Structure formats: C-alpha cells, structure tokens
Amino acid sequence: MTRAEKNLTGLTMKFEGMTVHKHYLCELDLDDFTSGMIALAETFKMMYAGMINDPQKYAMKGADDVKGLVKNMNFLLLMARMGVLNNTSLEVDGKKLAPALKEAKVTKPEIYFRIIEPLGFTASGLGKKIAESGKITIDFPDNKFCLTALKAMADAVSVFSTINPNQGNYYFQFLDHRALESHPATEPKNTMEYILSKLKTESQDVVEIFYEFIKPLTKCEIKGDIGWYWTPTFTLKSTKKVILSFKLTLDNHNIKLNLANIGQYTELLDGYPTKITEEMKSSGWGCGNCNSKCVGAFVFDLDGINYKKCRCGSFVFDNPSKDDSELLLGLLKKELEIS
C-alpha cells in the first residue's frame, strides 16, 4: 500500500460533534466551520486519489513517491500557515513563502499552485516566481469556509511540527481534528474510540466485541502511530496482568489473548473452527524456561499433543471474523472465571 493509499484510507471524514477551540473558529459558528472541514476533507480525498491514479499530475515520480507526496502536503501546510485570513480569503506574502518552501525542500514551488487549481483553489497576484510576488490571494469558491479550516489545521499542527515534524505532518495529512481542541494545541492522545473510528467495518465489529466486554475490567495503554497502526494493551485491574492486546492497522486486526489456564478448559475448543485451533498450536513458541521470575508456560493438550507455550507469544489470532471472535470471547470469559 502506497503512502497516498494509506492517507486516503486513514483520512478523517467524520467531523460532526467535534470540539474546536474558539481561536481556530475565527468567529465562525461550529456548523460553518464543520462545513469547511468537510469540504477540505473532500479536497484531500480527491488529491490522494489523484496521487494514486495519476501521480505525474502531482509532480510525483510514481504512486509510491513519498517525497513527492510530502512536497505537495508541505506546500499546502506552509501556504496556510504563513497566510493571513481576510474574510474568506487567504493572503500570503510570496517573498516570505518562497524561502520557507525552499527550507522544506519544496523545489519549483510555482508548479504547486497549478497543481491545486483543479482541486478548487484559485490564486491571484502570483507572478512568474513566488519569490518575486507580493501579496498572493488564495480563494476556494466552492466553500467559503474551507480556507478557515485549512488555516486552523496548519496553525494547530505547527505546534507539533516544531518538536516532531513527521508527527505534525500526519495530523495535517489525516485532517485529525483533535488537534483543534485546545490553543495552544496539545498533542491528542489516542483513545480506543478514536482508533475504532479509523478501522474498516469488519475490524470495527471484531474489536468492539472485545473492547465493550473488557473495558470495565481493565486499564488500557495504547502505543503506535497516530494514523496507521496501534497496539492497545489491556491490563486487569484485579491482578495487574495483561489479559488482552491488539495489533491494529488500517488493513488488519490481530488479537492476542493471554489464556494462562487454557489447559483447564480445552474441551471448549471442541467444534471450534480449524483456523482457531491451528493458530493456538502454531502461535508463539515453546517455553524455554528463560526467566526465573516467570510463573511458567501455558500448558495444554490439543488433538493428543501436549503444548508448553511461552507466555510472551501466545495466543495470537490473525484477522478473526466476527463469528470467530464471539468464540474467542468465550475463551476469554472462561479464563477470567478461573484466574
């Protein structure tokens, strides 16, 4: 999957009910600002689709040209960041914009104004060279609130970009509106609710089955990228032991269940799909007694074979269906009854 495909898949498209600090609203009411965000998202969607299908149109060497994609995004980010809102227009000083684009390694920046025209942007006051231009006025005729939303996102993520440029760029590229909640912006924390909103429907259905059940019983810690993958881990409040973890991407959902007492209820596996039982056999690795502090292997018999599985690697289930997840949840519930 190319970067443009990942961005298109991970692009935030749900803005109703979002929280936006009054600084970023620029005196708009929330409904108008939301309208601008929706228009901006549709523009980004069109752009990413174009990068996939016709990358040369975006001065990219190919659909997998990450540097080319980043140049397009840096151009929009800096154009908005350095611009000043004047009603519904964005005014930017070409003499200041040009060196900023050069520092961001956006070469031949004039072509990017031509690139964004088919997306709905118009520019007046632009000379042959940006560096020789005075005030350049950018408009978005199809939605007069779109540039306010673009400016807000650029201003907010610039806070993160001073510390971690890539992190800030991701918030911008995904139009992650959580960046607009406070001013000065504070880096948003990943939550399971946010992650669920980014997953495909089939992954959402599976993850929700486990999350709704385990949420009251555990403390959740989330690591991973802001937009492409996450590794939520759930630790039981009662025993302080990890009972469940996910490895989630835009394409896959893997589930790890720490079934320490599986040997006491393997009879539940009778009639389970072969995929589940085979994954239990192959998951992880055999215990090597590598740590004197470890309480020992997961020991169980399955199909006449005795297994002693290391606790670190078992049991991982790859992309279970919703029906399979209901069965796996049954194992989790049984484990909690015994432990």
Residue type, 93: D
Shared domain check, 201 and 162 = no
Query: What pLDDT is stored for residue 164 in this prediction?
Result: 76
Listed residues 137, 162, 188: the one ending a domain? 188
Q: Is 240 left (phi over 0), alpha (psi -120 to 50) or beta?
A: left
Distance in angstroms (rounded) separating the CA atoms of residues 120 and 173: 18
pLDDT 10s digits, 32-50:
999 999 999 999 999 999 9
Across the range 219-238, mean pLDDT stands at 91
Shared domain check, 321 and 292 = yes
Listed residues 188, 205, 223: the one ending a domain? 188
pLDDT over 80 (residue 145): yes
Radius of gyration, alpha carbons of the chain: 25
Tell which wins on pLDDT, 52 or 197: 52
* Residue % of the chain over a pLDDT of 70: 100
pLDDT over 80 (residue 277): yes
pLDDT over 80 (residue 78): yes
Across the range 231-236, mean pLDDT stands at 97
Residues whose CB falls within 8 Å of the CB of residue 103, separated by 6 or more in sequence, listed in order:
none
Listed residues 126, 158, 188: the one ending a domain? 188
Query: What pLDDT is stored for residue 148 in this prediction?
Result: 98
191: Cα separation from own chain's centroid:
11
**3-class DSSP state of 315:** coil
Domain count, the chain: 2
Query: What pLDDT is stored for residue 18 in this prediction?
Result: 93
Shared domain check, 149 and 268 = no
Shared domain check, 151 and 38 = yes
Query: What pLDDT is stored for residue 14 in this prediction?
Result: 86
Shared domain check, 275 and 162 = no
pLDDT 10s digits, 172-216:
999 999 999 999 888 888 899 989 988 889 999 999 999 999 999
Query: What pLDDT is stored for residue 205 in this prediction?
Result: 95
Shared domain check, 157 and 203 = no
pLDDT over 90 (residue 98): yes
Shared domain check, 318 and 293 = yes
Q: Where does the pLDDT of residue 169 fall: very low under 50, low under 70, confident under 90, or very high at 90 and above?
A: confident
Residues whose CB falls within 8 Å of the CB of residue 271, separated by 6 or more in sequence, listed in order:
none
pLDDT over 90 (residue 224): no
Q: Any idea what DSSP says for residue 266?
A: G
Range of the domain at 23: 3-188
Decide: 146 and 40 in contact? Cβ < 8 Å. Answer: yes
Shared domain check, 319 and 294 = yes
Query: What pLDDT is stored for residue 165 in this prediction?
Result: 72
Shared domain check, 44 and 137 = yes
Distance in angstroms (rounded) separating the CA atoms of residues 314 and 258: 7
Across the range 91-113, mean pLDDT stands at 94
Q: Which residue has the tokens 């078992």?
A: 314
The CA-atom distances, in angstroms, between 229 and each of 58, 106, 281 are: 27, 28, 26
Decide: 38 and 15 in contact? Cβ < 8 Å. Answer: yes
pLDDT over 80 (residue 226): no
Distance in angstroms (rounded) separating the CA atoms of residues 221 and 46: 35
pLDDT 10s digits, 236-258:
999 999 999 999 998 899 999 99
Across the range 93-103, mean pLDDT stands at 94
Shared domain check, 220 and 146 = no
Mean pLDDT over the full length of the chain: 93
Distance in angstroms (rounded) separating the CA atoms of residues 152 and 157: 9
Strand ranges inside 104-228, DSSP E:
122-124, 135-139, 218-224
Across the range 73-102, mean pLDDT stands at 95
Query: What pLDDT is stored for residue 288 in this prediction?
Result: 84
Shared domain check, 256 and 178 = no
Query: What pLDDT is stored for residue 293 in this prediction?
Result: 82
pTM higher than 0.95, yes or no?
A: no
Shared domain check, 238 and 138 = no
Distance in angstroms (rounded) separating the CA atoms of residues 65 and 302: 48
* Residue % of the chain over a pLDDT of 90: 80
Decide: 289 and 273 in contact? Cβ < 8 Å. Answer: no
174: Cα separation from own chain's centroid:
7
